[in-house]
Chain A
Amino acid sequence: NAGVTQTPKFRVLKTGQSMTLLCAQDMNHEYMYWYRQDPGMGLRLIHYSVGEGTTAKGEVPDGYNVSRLKKQNFLLGLESAAPSQTSVYFCASKNYGTSGGPNNEQFFGPGTRLTVL
């Protein structure tokens, strides 16, 4: 199993350009998440999905859109990139389970480093 994979690994955009980050998981997980990681701020949740066809806003959703058309894929879109969106983006997935149970582990991809000039 490949686990969680992210495409691309690196990208440089100019302000105003758009792009889509792709996340794929082969573990048949119900939940998928998009985070951004900035120095000194840990990981902040952008959007998440509790199942195919569903999405919800996280802590920092502005400027991003997501889609979950297939269970295994979760796409993160930037319609008009801004320098403030320069960050490392991580996708994660999790199986269905209770909050304290063994199925609450989130599995992370290797990240996408995005620079917006």
Chain B
Amino acid sequence: TQLLEQSPQFLSIQEGENLTVYCNSSSVFSSLQWYRQEPGEGPVLLVTVVTGGEVKKLKRLTFQFGDARKDSSLHITAAQPGDTGLYLCAGVKGNKLVFGAGTILRVKS
């Protein structure tokens, strides 16, 4: 059972375009994390959002946590080829993570 639904599953865009990835759940999480994974490597943490309504910015990436702490979004401004990868959201439940299925992002130059 996938507790976290990510959309879209796959995104192919041109360099310079903006995009948003969504992560939705019917469950409430104490916090939510976003990871990025490159081929042949393990996921690496980008950000943790903790408070409902919280917005965090990491250069061209903006992360938002829903008011009810059930959903989150990742917005990338002016995407670059270096942003290509698999983006995973993960809900924190105690000391465990529940992962979404991921969004494969391909940015073409």
Contacts and interface: CB of A to CB of B under 8 A. Distances in A.
Interface of A: 4, 31, 33, 35, 40-45, 48, 50, 58, 90, 92, 94, 99-100, 102, 104-106, 108-111
B40 A104 contact: no
A100 B31 contact: yes
B88 A43 contact: yes
Contacts of B48: 100, 102, 104-105
Contacts, number: 64
B45 interface: yes
Given A40-B101, A110-B40, A111-B41, A100 B92 contact: yes
B82 interface: no
Contacts of B45: 105-106
**Residue with the greatest number of chain B CB neighbours at <10 A, chosen from A31, A33, A50, A99:** A99
Interface string B65-97: 000000000000000000000001010111111
A55 B45 CA distance: 24
B97 A45 contact: yes
Nearest to B97: A106
16 contacts: A33-B96, A40-B9, A41-B2, A42-B4, A42-B88, A42-B100, A43-B97, A50-B95, A99-B30, A99-B94, A100-B31, A105-B33, A108-B43, A109-B42, A110-B40, A111-B40
A109 B44 CA distance: 10
Nearest to A106: B97
A87 B100 CA distance: 17
Given A99-B30, A99-B31, A100-B50, A108 B92 contact: no
